[in-house]
Structure 1
């Protein structure tokens, strides 16, 4: 028969093991996700992915990469954090240094999001490499400013990108970078006018283009300049368009992005995240949001049981 001491030791070990297991389970739940969620596009299939179908899988677009406390804008670590919770389109921003290096930065100045100062166009890449990123609360992190090339390489097999090319940055240079990394199937260029969309389409007919189409006049302006339907991802604005626009674009096979960032995100915060479901049910395919983790939890319940798009989600 085991001694009292032996039984006490056994009970102690059992209790410790239970405590460790419970802590691990609690920690896993607190981080909210147990795996990364990837989108993988086989070579040459990006247009097939973005060809709208009734069984499409609704998605979030993480505005400026999806910053949260401790995770700054336009940082690869931030992109990875979002992918712990959901597959995503990552919207990110491109500025250019004085020595023509394309870097990920929303503002033309370094002051708000880094511990540096000055306009991006007036500083060198060497200087930017000495800086650290700050989150949106102004807290300094250990994360560095990535280059466009680094982000493009990261995206392959993981997430789709929509690239916001800031004023003064040549589309041609961005396209050359996309091609040099072989990231054509993961990269879409954001444009703010039909003329810019025409230029991008002429430079790179293989790339998807995020175009501003809030009404039929905007669609017709793009078509007049030769933008093919299967190159378009339609950003319909930051308020819901007339439902007939969604129907028209879907009949053309075009995915739609609704910008819920700003007012609609704030509405969700005050009235409940369930309102995200309404945006999708009324026709939005992708929600561009500052709250990708919260919105994605609602969209999870809207995914079709089976979909022709499922093969792209890993």
Structure 2
């Protein structure tokens, strides 16, 4: 039986089981509460936490806010400059989010660092600077906007941040476990699964079973716009493999297709019928543009502290269960 500790001052995170002295350990324990992922950092206003205005997305300011608020994981978008440096930027160009213009891929690192983020007073960060600022304080998941996973992993190792970084890639039917690739030897890896990952929805579960069968464990599976049958198949397979189910609530379109939900917009008005329903369906990681509000909701229902989980045909409960996590059936 595990005990929960209410504080981990070093990491500035929500309560986690005793012994889970890294974010990575909590990530790999699906009974360790619902986890919150901040989309491009904590850029939305969070007045209850002392942030009445917005911050630039993918900025160090947005990262620091996440640490102060207590977010579990920060999502960051990674691109490569003309001279091969990895930097944090969502769009192909810098036009929307900075005072400059042009494609990231046509700018040198010096030109990129001379820019200023709109709505802030800092330059867009490099991947190295971002990981150094996050290291030991919050996990980071990288959305790589190009084929440079190996380079990103080397940056993580060079900054002594490999314990705090989560990589991901699309998995498909009959694909061998991606986590076993040498590239991911010392970083966390999570497969992503969408409707096109298998011939039909019922086969999507087999994709997860295969990805979880390797020598290196996976902590979670990210679902990508799955409909009802596909989501159920993935959730059941994840439950049997004892891994988390990750879903994002950023947009409205995919939710109406299988749960009748409206994502973040609905959640801000009625979290029980959006975030709450997802949790009741078996989701334990939620990716959102409103992490502060989600954390407040989880705290109100004590869902960040521990959950009851069960794989198909068997039940297993945390000794500090405070919320019902619907067992995959």
TM-score by length of 2: 0.71
| Contact 2:204 2:233 survives alignment (8 Å) | no
Q: Indicate which of 197, 212, 217 corresponds to 2:203.
A: 217
2:29 counterpart residue number: 52
Confirm whether residue 160 of structure 1 aligns to residue 139 of structure 2.
Answer: yes
Give the 3 Å change call, closer, same or farther, for CA 175–88 of structure 1 in structure 2.
same
C-alpha separation between the residues in 1 aligned to 2:177 and 2:285? 20
Give the 3 Å change call, closer, same or farther, for CA 273–67 of structure 1 in structure 2.
same
C-alpha separation between the residues in 1 aligned to 2:86 and 2:178? 22
Q: Indicate which of 135, 139, 149 corresponds to 2:128.
A: 149
Q: Indicate which of 82, 96, 104 corresponds to 1:112.
A: 96
Q: Secondary structure at the match of 1:95?
A: strand
1:61 counterpart residue number: 37
How far the C-alpha of 1:211 sits from its partner, in A, is: 1.5
How far the C-alpha of 1:189 sits from its partner, in A, is: 0.9
Q: Deviation per CA, 1:57-89: give whole Å up to 9, x if none.
A: 112111111322531111111122133333321
Give the 3 Å change call, closer, same or farther, for CA 305–251 of structure 1 in structure 2.
closer
1:123 counterpart residue number: 107
Q: Deviation per CA, 1:141-177: give whole Å up to 9, x if none.
A: 212211111111122221111101112x411111111
Give the 3 Å change call, closer, same or farther, for CA 45–60 of structure 1 in structure 2.
closer
| Contact 2:247 2:287 survives alignment (8 Å) | yes
2:285 counterpart residue number: 286
| Contact 2:58 2:89 survives alignment (8 Å) | yes
Give the 3 Å change call, closer, same or farther, for CA 165–251 of structure 1 in structure 2.
same
Q: Secondary structure at the match of 1:117?
A: coil
What is the number of residues matched between the two proteins? 268
Confirm whether residue 258 of structure 1 aligns to residue 247 of structure 2.
Answer: yes
Q: Secondary structure at the match of 1:64?
A: coil
In structure 1, list runs of 5 or more residues that go unmatched.
1-34, 135-139, 310-314
| Contact 2:40 2:75 survives alignment (8 Å) | yes
Give the 3 Å change call, closer, same or farther, for CA 46–228 of structure 1 in structure 2.
farther
- The root-mean-square deviation of aligned C-alpha atoms, in Å, is 3.3
Pair member with larger Rg: 1
C-alpha separation between the residues in 1 aligned to 2:177 and 2:139? 19
For 1:1-314, list aligned pairs within 5 A.
37-38=12-13, 48-53=25-30, 55-68=31-44, 69-134=53-118, 140-167=119-146, 169-194=147-172, 198=178, 201-214=181-194, 217-221=203-207, 224=210, 227=214, 230-238=217-225, 241=228, 242-243=231-232, 245-263=234-252, 264-269=263-268, 271-275=269-273, 276-300=275-299, 301=301, 302-304=303-305
How far the C-alpha of 1:207 sits from its partner, in A, is: 1.9
Q: Deviation per CA, 1:79-126: give whole Å up to 9, x if none.
A: 221333333211111001111111001111111111111110100111
| Contact 1:162 1:187 survives alignment (8 Å) | yes
Larger RCO (CA under 8 A, 6+ residues apart): 1
